[in-house]
Amino acid sequence: MKYLPPNRRGTRLGAALALTAAASLMFAACGGGGETGSPGAEATEGGGGGGEPIAVTLITKDNNNPFWISMQQGAENAASKFGVTLTKAAGAKDGDEDGQVKAIEAAVARGDKGILITPNGPGVNSAIENARNAGLYVIALDTPPDPADTVDLTIATDNFKAGELIGQWTAGTLNGGKATIAMLDAFNDKVVTVDVNRDQGFLTGMGIDTADKAKNGDEAPTGKYTGGKGGDYQIVCHEPSQGAQDGGKTGMESCLSQSKDINTVYTINEPTAAGAVEALQAAGIKDALVTSVDGGCSPGIAMVKDGTIGASSQQYPIKMAEMGVETIKKMADSNGADKPQNSPGLDFVDAGVALVTDKPVEGVDSITSAEAEELCWGGK
């Protein structure tokens, strides 16, 4: 399941496309009928035939980020193909746990067979437990819950690896120069695994000791990084962005108020990166290395292509959702017996990740922005 880009650039695109085909084969399932969802959530009728009706609710973090919109598209694709009735719901914004809890409760009340959820935080765990006790299968997408066994299964990017890749690229690109770093995380008031794993992965890729890998911001603020040729580093700030463009702009402005020497910017996702770049440009800083995670067709890959972002780690949310719908269908048909195994060494099924850059660094596997456009979050 894990996507490991080969060393020869000419074969990388083919390998990545093979990943999505292999995933589809691994998670193939029979078709079934469906019924519409309740008012207040958007329901889609599946088009498959035969079998007991299967209803699934997809609960994303919000309805605004293109990443979640693409995930909804993937779920719709699979629901139509496999005859599953899909209801879509979301938090009002990234971090809205209460909104997700209400969507979970609504899925239970409807009598759904399963829930796919990108958890907004640990505040949803009790509702997930109640849903499972009521007989629903619950699969987390993208964001592993803490603890991992809160859900039946997680299908996700290896977010630590995603962060590590952009950290390795950054260290190599700095070529021994000093790194004055701004860290634009998602939150500073709650622990979400994606937030921590990407942050800690980036620092690990840079060759900076992270102290406690389960906690953001406890690393030494100054020292030596060992990635690439190695050099001095200073971490100026850890600022929350809520994964949004306006949050990225505000967070970057706060960091710049502490130092105008920032030349390295880690961002939790591409909307955050867009806001950070806006603040950097307003401050007259044009040569900072900005990195991110998601690899969205627009604006993410476009930002890599025009040089606004130096590198981003591409995820495959469409494929995650397709795999999730198929897996719940299989589990429902088999009374829970037919469930895939976690990827080796991980507590989730790895949906793959690839570093995207048009300025490759020796020793760090990557694909170009043109190749990333062809993959387009796993939808092509």
DSSP 68-98: HHHHHHHHHHHHHHHTEEEEEEE-SSTT-HH
pLDDT for position 16: 40
3-state secondary structure of 360: coil
- Parallel, antiparallel, or unpaired: how do β-strands 349-350 and 311-314 relate? unpaired
Two tokens, residue 317: 């949310």
Contact 270, 278 (CB under 8 A): no
- List, in order, residues 6 or more apart from 11 with CB less than 8 Å away: none
Q: Tens digit of pLDDT for each residue in 26-75?
A: 333 222 333 333 334 666 555 444 456 799 999 999 998 889 999 999 99
Give the whole-number percent of the chain exceeding pLDDT 90. Answer: 81
Q: Which architecture, in CATH terms, is 26-157+317-352?
A: 3-Layer(aba) Sandwich (3.40)
Question: When comparing pLDDT for 358 and 65, which is higher?
Answer: 358
Angle at 64 between CA 368 and CA 295, to 5 degrees: 10
Min mean pLDDT across 32-41, 89-98, 325-334 is at 32-41
Alpha-carbon gap, residue 263 to 317, rounded angstroms? 30
Strand partners, 171: none
Class of 159-314 per CATH? alpha beta
Strand pairing class (311-314; 354-356): antiparallel
Strand segments, DSSP code E, in 9-74 are 42-44, 54-60
pLDDT above 90: residue 253: yes
Q: In this model, does residue 260 exceed pLDDT 70?
A: yes
Confidence of residue 362 (pLDDT cuts 50, 70, 90): very high
Per-residue pLDDT, averaged over 256-273, amounts to: 97
Q: Are 225 and 172 in contact (CB under 8 A)?
A: no
Side chain identity at residue 344, one-letter code: P
Q: Rounded to an integer, what distance in angstroms lies between the CA atom of residue 145 and that of residue 192?
A: 8
| Listed residue (159, 116, 151) closest to 322, CA to CA | 116
Band the pLDDT of 150: cuts 50, 70, 90.
very high
CA angle 97-101-102, nearest 5°?
120
Tokens found for residue 361 = 């660094």
Phi, psi (rounded to 5 degrees) for 154:
-125, 135
- Measured between alpha carbons, how far is 182 from 342 in angstroms, rounded to an integer? 34
Task: Determine the longest span between alpha carbons in the chain, in angstroms.
Answer: 63
- Name the DSSP class of 299: I
Residue 295 backbone class (left: φ over 0; alpha: ψ -120 to 50; beta: rest): left
| pLDDT of 265 strictly over 90 | yes
pLDDT of amino acid 250: 98
Residue type, 201: G
Q: Is 159 helix (H, G, I), strand (E, B) or coil?
A: helix
Is pTM beyond 0.85? Reply is: no
Domains of the chain by residue range:
26-157+317-352, 159-314
Angle value at C-alpha 293, between 220 and 70, nearest 5 degrees: 150
| Helix, strand, coil percentages, rounded to 5, for the chain | 40, 20, 40
Which three-class secondary structure state does DSSP give residue 292? strand
Query: What pLDDT sits at residue 339?
Result: 92
Split at pLDDT 50, 70, 90, the class of 378 is: confident
Highest mean pLDDT: which of 51-60, 162-171, 291-300? 162-171
Q: Please give the pLDDT value at position 204.
A: 98
Averaged pLDDT for residues 79-86: 96
* Whether pLDDT at 13 is above 60: no
Position 51 scores a pLDDT of 57
Q: HEC profile for 206-217?
A: HCCCCCCCCCCC
CA–CA separation, 291 and 202 (whole Å)? 9
What are 104-136's pLDDT values in tens digits? 999 999 999 999 999 999 999 999 999 999 999
Q: What is the mean pLDDT of residues 333-345?
A: 94
Q: How far apart are the first and last CA of the chain?
A: 18
Say yes or no: do domains 26-157+317-352 and 159-314 share a fold: yes
